Amino acid sequence: MAPLSTAELAVTRHLLVHGPTTRAALGDRLQLSYASMSRLARSLTDGGLITQDVEPEFTVGRPRQILSAVPGARHVVGCKLTADRAYGVVCDMFGEVRWAAKAALPRRRSDGTVPVAATVKTVARLAQRLARRVPSVDGIAVSLGGVVVNRSIVREGTFLGWRDTDLATPLRAETGLPVVVTNDVTALAREELWFGAGRTHSTFGLITVGAGLGFGVVREGVVVEELIDNGHLLAHAPLTGRGPRCSLGHAGCVASYLNREDLERHASAAAGRPVTFDGLVQARTAGDRTATRLLTGSARALGHLAATFAGALQTTRIVLAGEDVAEIAASPALADVVADRLRPGADETQRCALDITTATLTFNDWARGAAVAGVQHVLGAL
């Protein structure tokens, strides 16, 4: 299946992101002539990607053609790999989940790595199960935590023990389908670009909080595929020199307050027994002062991080997501910190307001992000 031309992709993307519109209006928006727009609409209609319908309330003059994207024109399997499981979904072109499934990853070797060949077979079987739920599958996208290069090579698989591992080539050979491999936060940023924050902001930042801290960057409508530091500089930015230490020994850095492992370690030390993140949240609800203090510290750290990220990107839009983010953002300390950071000086006239949203993610949501990246890949946008 050949990728779309640049112009075909522009038309299809606009219809997916912004919904149905008239052929004339879309041509004006994309600066395409009437003849070019007619040719593109005909080509995409013949390919089954869009439909053309006459405006139902047409009365005078030439009938207006309404263009709409066809949701089921493409289906892609998205798969999120964790340390021990593969979570899969099959989505249509709009990123709507049609079915979900999961499978255990193979047992680790004695050196702590997850076997690659067996993982490929697991993902292939998962994709085969999901493919039965739709007419056909056009591609597979796999996301994972770590560093991915060339949309194929896992240079550093944080939770799988992988180094310089080609995942796309054997999976492509196993399934016969186009395959793209991506960092999991980058995939979420791609989803936000088409179906979330990107609808109103061409530049925005994404922060995920959970098993680790993740960062996604979109600048002028382009997703930054590989961060120079995998987010390390932001994650370990110092907030105070007297705060708790992260796993790398930094005192009072952002990660020491927000990394789940570090937060649980500090809570366990304070309680004199093992404390999980969920247990910490429950203790705060019950009025425990230590739990309240720790989670308030996390909220303050996240507020500073969001404000700093927005300033660095020069955007008013930041998306907070992840398994732990809702419980941390529930503290008023986050909004208080952001408001204080935005407070202008006495002689300043410029005003700024940050649009910060939060979304709790399930593993299926992570897999959906991979699927959207896969849709973009098979259409030629990636």
Which domains, and CATH codes, for the chain? 6-69 (1.10.10.10), 74-191+364-379 (3.30.420.40), 202-315+324-360 (3.30.420.40)
Please report the pLDDT score of residue 351 as a whole number.
79
Please report the pLDDT score of residue 3 as a whole number.
82
Average pLDDT over residues 332-347: 92
Residues near 232 by beta carbon (within 8 Å), at least 6 away in sequence: none
The rounded distance, in Å, linking the Cα atoms of 142 and 79 is: 5
Average pLDDT over residues 37-49: 95
Confidence of residue 316 (pLDDT cuts 50, 70, 90): very high
Residue 130, pLDDT above cutoff 60: yes
Confidence of residue 219 (pLDDT cuts 50, 70, 90): very high
Average pLDDT over residues 209-238: 93
Confidence of residue 350 (pLDDT cuts 50, 70, 90): confident
Please report the pLDDT score of residue 58 as a whole number.
57
Task: Please state whether beta strands 317-322 and 355-360 pair in parallel, antiparallel, or not at all (unpaired).
Answer: parallel
Confidence of residue 93 (pLDDT cuts 50, 70, 90): very high
Please report the pLDDT score of residue 59 as a whole number.
56
Query: Model's pTM, two decimal places?
Result: 0.93
Residue 17, pLDDT above cutoff 70: yes
Distance of CA 330 to the CA centre of its chain: 21
Average pLDDT over residues 353-378: 95
Residue 311, pLDDT above cutoff 90: yes
Average pLDDT over residues 47-71: 82
Residue 294, pLDDT above cutoff 60: yes
Residue 341, pLDDT above cutoff 80: yes
Please give the share of the chain, as a percent, with pLDDT higher than 90: 89
The rounded distance, in Å, linking the Cα atoms of 367 and 272 is: 37
The rounded distance, in Å, linking the Cα atoms of 210 and 230 is: 16
Q: Which amino acid is at 71?
A: P
- The radius of gyration computed from the CA coordinates of the chain, to the nearest angstrom, equals 23
Distance of CA 376 to the CA centre of its chain: 13
Residue 82, pLDDT above cutoff 90: yes
Please report the pLDDT score of residue 85 as a whole number.
97
Average pLDDT over residues 293-318: 97
Q: Give the closest residue to 377 by CA, choosing from 110, 173, 74, 131.
A: 74
Point out the least confidently predicted range of 119-133, 189-203, 334-348, 364-378. 334-348
Please report the pLDDT score of residue 255 as a whole number.
96
Confidence of residue 183 (pLDDT cuts 50, 70, 90): very high
Per the CB < 8 A criterion, the answer to whether 169 and 180 are in contact is no
Residue 34, pLDDT above cutoff 60: yes
Residue 153, pLDDT above cutoff 70: yes
Residue 197, pLDDT above cutoff 60: yes
Confidence of residue 211 (pLDDT cuts 50, 70, 90): confident
Task: Share the mean pLDDT of the chain.
Answer: 94
Confidence of residue 57 (pLDDT cuts 50, 70, 90): low
Please report the pLDDT score of residue 241 as a whole number.
85
Confidence of residue 357 (pLDDT cuts 50, 70, 90): very high
Per the CB < 8 A criterion, the answer to whether 260 and 210 are in contact is yes
Which DSSP category does 171 fall into?
H
Residue 348, pLDDT above cutoff 90: no
Point out the least confidently predicted range of 50-54, 77-81, 96-100. 50-54
Please report the pLDDT score of residue 61 as a whole number.
59
Helix (H, G, I), strand (E, B) or coil at 105: coil
